């Protein structure tokens, strides 16, 4: 029986995690559920899973939640301190880190410092503070298992010997020659380039294969998601950028691959359903059952592959360049991208302006070296400020 805190329980990954719990009720005891503002959803989940704690981010949300669950023995906590508390509590074995964006960093770090088993969906933790975060995981003997489907696929395609304690090992000692990160190319893969500028938020979030939160769906359309995943892979598997190939695979059945020196390529495949990688991390090294339908190769259609081109996906290339500058620069890019994606979703800027304004933010704000999380978070704050100013300037001119 594992005792589990689900951070970001009301989101897409959080709900899929709880569905895996539903399929394996004797294996998990839910200790805490957290959400930002979807109080009713969180109340429903509390009623179903009876956690000891529920965490929301404001006093207002807490006072809305409390009457809905007054009949239960659930303590309601508020804010980042509440998230850190349930991520590091002595009773907790496993933390599902599924908050979206920079807000996930501090609770992830608290889980690492408390030596927890961390199931990492929040890729932003690695993008912002890859070095510092991994250092803390190692120092405190925490376990880090990748939930992101590509990294989970890569992990599954590596030998068991490597998987055990992998942060202390080098994949080149296991005959690996490269990692192939696959991505669908998003909903605008075949859209004529000159039409991209007029794409709307509704069109951008309609992902062809995966059902996900809004922010990551827009990131899939610009391939910033693949850029963030590129950075995530460099930190998780401790490899140089040259070690990673990015390929477009529109069907999203091969979730990523590993090439070996003898010419072998191992892939992990399956339905594009996050319950598979989530269940893999929840059960590791055992396999859990899920409600995911088996992939049918006969009706599933052909697989195809192509190279992502820079003119269509400038964000992917910005991310690769930023990685070479270090975690301070990737923090700036991540912050600017969060601000610009939110502005796009609010119809304040156009689709192609997301990457243009990301690039401008990187050129405008050059961060100092950061040696602690507080310094990373202050770069994040300043970069958001810069990004907001650039949007305001841009809107005055256009």
List residues binding Mg ion (CB under 5 A): 148-150
- Rounded CA-CA distance 309/147 in Å is 27
Q: What is the DSSP letter of 318?
A: H
**Residue nearest ligand NAD by beta-carbon distance:** 11
Task: Mark 96-115 with x for binding to ligand NAD (rule: CB under 6 A) and - for no binding.
Answer: --xxx--x------------
What residue 360 binds from ligand NAD, Mg ion, none (CB within 5 to 8 A, per partner kind)?
A: none
Question: Alpha-carbon distance 191 to 273, whole Å?
Answer: 25
Q: Which alpha helices (H) appear in 223-372, and where do they start and end?
A: 224-236, 275-283, 314-325, 327-345, 351-364
- Say whether residue 187 binds ligand NAD (CB under 6 A): no
CA nearest neighbour of 142 among 189, 218, 88:
88
Half-sphere CA count of 343, side-chain side, radius 13 A: 25
* Nearer residue to ligand NAD within complex by CB, 320 or 394: 320
Q: Is 334 annotated as a binding residue?
A: no
What is the closest distance, in whole angstroms, from the C-beta atom of residue 227 to Mg ion in the complex? 11
- From the CB of 194, what's the least distance to ligand NAD, in Å? 30
Residue 95 CB, nearest distance to Mg ion (Å)? 19
13 assigned binding-site residue: yes
Q: Closest Cα to residue 145, out of 193, 175, 111?
A: 111
Round to whole Å and give the CA distance between 153 and 158: 9
Where in 259-318 is the site for ligand NAD (CB under 6 A)? 274
Q: Is 122 annotated as a binding residue?
A: yes
**Interaction pattern, residues 36-65, with ligand NAD; x per rule: CB under 6 A:** x-x------------------x--------
Is 242 annotated to bind a ligand? Reply is: no
**Nearest CB to ligand NAD, comparing residues 274 and 379:** 274
Residue selected from 17, 86, 124, 278 as contacting ligand NAD according to rule CB under 6 A: 124
Q: Applying CB under 6 A, does 13 fall inside the site for ligand NAD?
A: yes
- Pick from ligand NAD, Mg ion, none: which does 355 bind, CB < 5 to 8 A by kind? none
Establish if 205 lies at the interface with ligand NAD (CB under 6 A).
no
CB 174 within 8 A of CB 238: no
CA distance 382 to 372: 16
Is residue 14 involved in binding ligand NAD (CB under 6 A)? yes
**Does residue 124 have a known ligand-binding role?**
yes
- The residues pairing with 30 across neighbouring beta strands, listed in sequence order, are 4
Annotated binding residue at 116? Answer: no
Q: Which of 109, 161, 153 is nearest to 134 (CA)?
A: 109
Establish if 87 lies at the interface with ligand NAD (CB under 6 A): no
Cα–Cα distance measured from residue 382 to residue 311, given in angstroms and rounded to the nearest whole number: 29
d(CA 235, CA 167): 9
Query: Judged by CB under 6 A, which of 20, 69, 212, 316 binds ligand NAD?
Result: 212
35 near ligand NAD, rule: CB under 6 A: yes
Is 328 flagged in the annotation as binding? no
- Asked if residue 147 lies in contact with residue 253, where contact means CB atoms within 8 angstroms, the answer is no
Question: Left (φ > 0), alpha (ψ -120 to 50) or beta: where does 310 sit?
Answer: alpha
By CB under 6 A, name the binding residues for ligand NAD: 8-14, 35-36, 38, 57, 98-100, 103, 121-124, 148, 210, 212-213, 216, 274
């Amino acid at each position: 029986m594992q005792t589990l805190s689900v951070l970001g329980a009301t989101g897409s990954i959080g709900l899929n995690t709880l569905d895996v719990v539903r399929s394996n009720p004797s294996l998990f005891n839910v200790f805490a559920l957290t959400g930002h503002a979807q109080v009713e959803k969180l109340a429903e989940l509390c009623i179903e899973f009876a956690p000891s704690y529920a965490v929301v981010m404001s006093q207002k949300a807490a006072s809305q939640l409390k009457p809905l669950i007054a009949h239960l023995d659930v303590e309601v906590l508020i804010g980042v301190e509440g998230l850190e508390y349930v991520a590091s509590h002595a009773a907790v074995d496993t933390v599902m880190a599924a908050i979206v964006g920079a807000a996930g960093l501090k609770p992830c770090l608290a889980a690492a410092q408390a030596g927890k088993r961390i199931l990492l969906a929040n890729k932003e933790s690695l993008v912002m503070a890859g070095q510092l975060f991994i250092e803390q995981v190692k120092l405190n003997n925490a376990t880090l298992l990748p939930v992101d489907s590509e990294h989970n696929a890569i992990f599954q395609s590596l030998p068991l010997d490597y998987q055990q304690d992998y942060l202390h090992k080098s994949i080149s000692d296991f005959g690996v020659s490269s990692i192939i990160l696959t991505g669908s190319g998003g909903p605008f893969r075949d859209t004529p380039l000159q039409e991209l500028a007029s794409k709307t938020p509704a069109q951008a979030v309609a992902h062809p294969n995966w059902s996900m939160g809004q922010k990551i769906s827009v990131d899939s359309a610009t391939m910033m998601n693949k850029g963030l995943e590129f950075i995530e892979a460099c930190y998780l598997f401790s490899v140089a950028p040259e070690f990673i190939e990015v390929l477009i695979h529109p069907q999203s059945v091969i979730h990523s691959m590993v090439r070996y020196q003898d010419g072998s390529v191992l892939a992990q495949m399956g339905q594009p359903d996050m319950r598979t990688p989530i269940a893999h991390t929840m059960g590791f090294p055992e396999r859990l059952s899920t409600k995911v339908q088996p992939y049918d190769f006969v009706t599933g259609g052909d697989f195809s592959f192509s190279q992502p081109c820079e003119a269509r996906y400038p964000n992917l290339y910005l991310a690769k360049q930023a990685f070479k500058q270090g975690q301070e620069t990737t923090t700036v890019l991540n912050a600017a991208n969060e601000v610009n994606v939110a502005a796009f979703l609010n119809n304040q800027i156009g689709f192609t302006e997301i990457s243009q304004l990301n690039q401008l933010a990187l050129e405008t704000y050059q961060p100092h070296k950061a040696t602690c999380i507080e310094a990373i978070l202050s770069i994040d704050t300043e970069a958001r400020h810069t990004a907001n100013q650039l949007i305001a300037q841009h809107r005055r001119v256009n």
